[in-house]
């Protein structure tokens, strides 16, 4: 797999432009005062599917051959990636099968069903579903779409970072959540191509540290996964994003699940923003490591807003408890 370049991100922007409007980058007075920094929220939850992954799906399907689309696509997802591929498949007339954990987020499951995807429930987590989909692709001849190790997906989601720099050329720090690593990889490629002094931080739950350990140790590592934040819940690092992060990522921060819950509440109260757990993870990292952001211009990506009422109520309870 060859890492995408800044040119690939610009090509992706041309590809996806007819399908999406750019998302806003809004200054947050409340969060700026709290963090003693100039804080901007990149509102990827404003995209039609409520998450940043939409960008990658359109870019991927646009570049597939007619033969690949006829064969059908199969992928594994905890929700947002699956919605992206399902939506793009509907747009381009391709059959899409999606493998999901047995207890996948019901909001995301309903969305994928509405988009016409064929759902396959298997296992307790993303990696169980992924391995099952890989077997089906080999046996049935589907075009397998890895949720992370796909250069076209990374180039597509990297367009969000391009918009940040265009809207805030003087940005000092970009903070993004990390699950598999497509979003952070795209941000690294864009930021370092434009200005190597822009710092890029990945944030993940300490209850799912596989990507962090892979980055830290310089090799693919598997680790236990017990986070409630399904969008950052992976048991393994992945080759392509890890190779990009090894070269370009400035730092990798871990936060607790309660840090993420408090960040959901903080976004509601201070940022007037609804975020799913993964969508609030970058802010959780900013709060925990506020000292390194003080006085800087900081762009925090809200990657998605597909949260259930139960999860929201649970998060607000933790936030209100302090």
Beta-bridge partner residues of 43: 302
Distance CA(307)–CA(275), nearest Å, equals: 7
| 218 Cβ contact partners less than 8 Å away, ≥ 6 residues apart | 246
Pairing type for strands 25-27 and 38-43 reads antiparallel
Q: How far is CA 6 from CA 9, 132, 158, 187, in A?
A: 5, 33, 9, 10
Count other C-beta atoms under 10 Å from residue 297's C-beta.
Answer: 18
The reply to whether 256 belongs to the active site is no
Establish whether 303 is a catalytic residue. Answer: yes
Residue owning tokens 């064969």: 71
Q: How far apart are CA 238 and CA 291, in angstroms?
A: 30
By DSSP bridging, strand 251-255 and strand 143-145 are: unpaired
**Cα–Cα distance between 138 and 26 in angstroms, integer?**
45
Selected catalytic residue, list 28, 42, 53, 87: 53
Task: Write out the catalytic residue numbers.
Answer: 53, 303
């Amino acid at each position: 797999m060859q890492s995408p370049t800044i040119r690939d991100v610009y090509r992706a922007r041309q590809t996806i432009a007819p399908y999406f409007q750019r998302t806003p980058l809004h200054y947050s007075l409340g969060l700026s005062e709290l963090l003693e920094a100039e804080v901007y929220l990149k509102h990827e939850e404003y995209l039609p599917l409520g998450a940043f992954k939409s960008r990658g799906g359109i870019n991927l399907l646009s570049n597939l051959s007619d033969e690949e689309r006829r064969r059908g696509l199969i992928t594994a997802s905890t929700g947002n990636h699956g919605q992206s591929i399902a939506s793009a498949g509907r747009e381009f007339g391709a059959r899409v099968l999606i493998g999901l954990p047995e207890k996948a987020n019901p909001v995301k499951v309903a969305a994928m069903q509405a988009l016409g995807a064929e759902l396959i429930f298997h296992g307790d987590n993303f990696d169980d579903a992924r391995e099952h989909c890989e077997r089906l692709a080999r046996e049935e001849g589907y075009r397998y779409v890895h949720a992370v190790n796909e250069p076209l997906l990374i180039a597509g989601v990297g367009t969000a970072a391009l918009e940040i720099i265009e809207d805030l050329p003087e940005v000092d720090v970009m903070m993004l959540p990390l699950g598999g690593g497509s979003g952070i990889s795209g941000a690294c490629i864009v930021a370092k191509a434009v200005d190597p002094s822009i710092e890029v931080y990945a944030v993940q739950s300490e209850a799912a540290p596989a990507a962090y350990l892979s980055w830290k140790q310089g090799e693919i590592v598997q680790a236990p996964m017990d986070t409630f934040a399904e969008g950052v819940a992976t048991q393994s690092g992945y080759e392509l994003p890890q190779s990009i992060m090894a070269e370009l990522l400035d730092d990798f921060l871990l936060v607790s699940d309660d840090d993420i819950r408090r960040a959901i509440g903080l976004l509601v109260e201070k940022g007037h923003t609804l975020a799913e757990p993964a969508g609030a993870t970058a802010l959780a990292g900013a709060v925990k490591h506020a000292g390194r952001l003080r006085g800087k211009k900081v762009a925090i990506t809200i990657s998605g807003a597909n949260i259930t009422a139960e999860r929201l109520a649970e998060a607000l309870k933790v936030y209100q408890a302090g």
